[in-house]
């Protein structure tokens, strides 16, 4: 009888304990999908997908479009250096948006939109200044060599190659150093490290910014997208520029154009859904694909150099390749960081006569190192 009572008590205790455990189980969190992820396609319009209670889009990246247009004006001005003298002060004013340097009144009026302050912003203050001064140095050199645009360029002589390529004594086409360099130092850095970075992605997502119909976090994500493209969908062949155009080529080769755009859409939808795990997964994917696409394009330009049939084409491709190898240092946790980037650039640029002295072995050495770092086919050529 005593054994039966003890057994009964044990069963009762087991029952109570089991009930207690059941009551303490926390059900998995279910994220409310205000914007279902399954509704997103490569044809979904970016602005049209994100609509506020007022019926208007919650997307605004005008500041990024302004800076891209500033770079377009700068680039177009530099191209006149083959027939006219360039003014380094004007280029510096475009870089800093000072003294109304643009032909567009709207850009001059956007005085708080500045390229220089967004250049290498993720670096320390000292390192950022070093990178910004690099571009100021290019502007000074462009002014100097533009005064020699009546010369046919040759080893040791600045001038024009092929009728339309302004190069210095070493064959460096500085216009490409500026354009491709700012693709990395401004656009890539702003997307990968600033707007998709920890600080911006910790912004408030509960209340709308005063006077706006979007949260601070939503806006930061849109600003990242704005450095990629101004288009409603991405990519649109023939309508992309700068970073957006070269990422289009690189991701096309790597088979990820559609997925790359969907990652931007899904990440923004995740913010609306307050689903930060999904957002973080998209950030990782975007950062990885940005870096790999730029590496792919860098390799491609080095390969084009080896197949070029004249110095103008060869040095143009080399200059573009140099610009992209420089840009790789601005990827998030860059596989080719500043030190490695400088090492590779020194192989390409460090000889006494610059590009004139380069051998295919020199070029292939850099190409192979980049290809091996990213696991990319060293023979890749993209132009899609």
Of 168, 175, 191, 170, the C-alpha closest to 294 is 191
User: Is pLDDT at 348 greater than 90 in this prediction?
Assistant: yes
Q: Which residue has the tokens 């520029």?
A: 241
pTM score of the predicted model: 0.91
pLDDT at position 221 is 98
pLDDT at position 240 is 97
User: Is pLDDT at 314 greater than 50 in this prediction?
Assistant: yes
- Lookup: tokens for 217: 């976090």
Higher pLDDT, 26 or 329: 329
Q: Around 120, how many Cα atoms within 13 Å sit in the side-chain half-sphere? A: 20
The residue extents of the domains of the chain are 46-374
- pLDDT tens, 19-28? 444 455 555 5
* Phi, psi (rounded to 5 degrees) for 211: 80, 5
Question: Cα-Cα-Cα-Cα dihedral of 198, 204, 208, 213, to 10°?
Answer: 20
- Radius of gyration, CA atoms only, the chain: 26
pLDDT at position 26 is 58
* Phi, psi (rounded to 5 degrees) for 159: 165, -150
**What is the chain's mean pLDDT, rounded?**
93
Give the distance, in angstroms, between the CA of residue 221 and the centroid of all CA atoms in the same chain: 14
pLDDT at position 32 is 80
pLDDT at position 88 is 98
- pLDDT tens, 81-129? 999 999 999 999 999 999 999 999 999 999 999 999 999 999 999 999 9
pLDDT at position 3 is 39
User: Is pLDDT at 8 greater than 80 in this prediction?
Assistant: no
Provide mean pLDDT across the span 247-259. 85
Q: CB atoms < 10 A from the CB of 128, how many?
A: 18
Residue 276, classified by CB atoms within 10 Å of its CB into exposed (0-12), middle (13-18) or buried (19+), is: middle
Peptide bond preceding 235: is omega within 30 degrees of 0, i.e. cis? Answer: yes
User: Is pLDDT at 51 greater than 50 in this prediction?
Assistant: yes
User: Is pLDDT at 69 greater than 60 in this prediction?
Assistant: yes
């Amino acid at each position: 009888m005593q054994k039966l009572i003890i057994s009964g008590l044990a069963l009762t205790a087991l029952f109570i304990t089991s009930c207690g455990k059941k009551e303490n189980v926390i059900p998995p969190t279910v994220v409310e999908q205000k914007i279902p992820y399954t509704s997103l396609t490569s044809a979904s319009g970016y602005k049209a997908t994100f609509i506020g209670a007022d019926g208007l889009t919650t997307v605004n990246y005008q500041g990024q479009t302004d800076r891209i247009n500033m770079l377009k004006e700068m680039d177009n001005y530099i191209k006149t250096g083959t027939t006219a003298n360039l003014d380094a002060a004007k280029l510096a004013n475009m870089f800093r948006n000072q003294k109304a340097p643009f032909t567009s009144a709207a850009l001059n009026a956007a005085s708080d939109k500045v390229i220089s302050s967004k250049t290498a912003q993720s670096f320390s203050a000292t390192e950022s200044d070093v990178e910004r001064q690099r571009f100021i140095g290019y502007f000074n050199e462009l002014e100097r060599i533009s005064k020699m645009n009546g010369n046919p360029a040759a080893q040791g002589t600045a001038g024009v190659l092929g009728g339309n390529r302004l190069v210095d004594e070493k064959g460096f086409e500085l216009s490409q150093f500026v354009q491709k360099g700012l693709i990395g130092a401004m656009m890539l850095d702003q997307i990968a490290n600033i707007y998709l970075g920890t600080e911006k992605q910790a912004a408030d997502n509960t209340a709308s910014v005063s006077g706006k119909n979007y949260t601070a976090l939503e806006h930061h994500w849109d600003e990242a997208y704005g450095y990629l493209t101004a288009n409603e969908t991405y990519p649109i062949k023939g309508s992309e520029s700068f970073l957006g155009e070269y990422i289009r080529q690189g991701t096309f080769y790597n088979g990820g154009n559609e997925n790359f755009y969907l990652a931007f859409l899904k990440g923004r939808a995740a913010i609306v859904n307050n689903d930060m795990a999904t957002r973080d997964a998209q950030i990782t994917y975007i950062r990885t694909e940005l870096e790999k696409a730029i590496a792919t394009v860098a390799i491609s330009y080095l390969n084009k150099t080896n197949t070029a049939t004249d110095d103008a084409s060869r040095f143009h491709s080399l200059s573009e390749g140099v610009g992209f190898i420089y840009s790789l240092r601005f990827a998030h946790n860059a596989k080719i960081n500043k030190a490695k980037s400088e090492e590779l650039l020194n192989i390409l640029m460090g000889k006494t006569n610059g590009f004139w002295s380069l051998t295919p072995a020199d070029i292939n050495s850099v190409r192979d190192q980049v290809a091996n770092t990213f696991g990319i086919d060293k023979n890749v050529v993209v132009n899609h």
